[in-house]
């Protein structure tokens, strides 16, 4: 049975709060920032990176925001037991979450990126 690695809920909540704060009215007023027509409201913000291990030719993660569980295939050049890192970014529009992006790296090199929802 696959082991599903999970991202920390506090890290996800902090990333979401940071994304929301960009369009917070008091912050806009205090910085005298004006939202221009060039700003489409989209933002991708890093939430957390966790250590994971290749198991059965895949890395399995539990995704936040009700997206469920997903197993990512890993190229066979990375055998079982290979240490890896899974990073999560939250995608938002005007501070509202619209999706996530998962990046998996081995030895600092990205081997896989997958987006869920709209990023």
Paired tokens of 8 = 């920390």
Tens place of pLDDT for every residue, the chain, 119 residues?
Answer: 789 999 999 999 999 999 998 877 655 555 555 666 677 889 999 999 999 999 999 999 999 999 999 999 999 999 999 999 999 999 999 899 999 999 999 999 999 999 999 99
Which residue is associated with the tokens 């987006």? Answer: 115
Paired tokens of 85 = 């890192």
The Cα–Cα gap between 116 and 64 comes to 10
| 18: Cβ contacts below 8 Å, ≥ 6 apart | 45
Paired tokens of 54 = 């290749």
Supply the pTM of this predicted model. 0.86
Domain span at residue 25? 4-117
- Identify the CA nearest to 72 among candidates 57, 84, 94: 57
Number of domains in the chain: 1
């Amino acid at each position: 049975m696959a082991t599903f690695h999970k991202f920390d809920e506090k890290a996800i909540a902090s990333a979401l709060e940071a994304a929301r704060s960009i369009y917070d009215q008091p912050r806009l007023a205090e910085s005298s920032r004006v939202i221009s027509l060039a700003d489409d409201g989209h933002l991708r913000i890093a939430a957390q990176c966790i250590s994971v291990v290749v198991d059965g030719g895949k890395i399995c993660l539990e995704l936040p925001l009700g997206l469920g569980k997903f197993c990512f295939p890993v190229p066979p050049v990375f055998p079982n037991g290979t240490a890896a890192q899974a990073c999560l970014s939250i995608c938002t529009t005007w501070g509202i979450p619209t999706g996530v992006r998962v990046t998996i790296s081995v030895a600092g090199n990205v081997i896989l990126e997958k987006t869920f929802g709209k990023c």
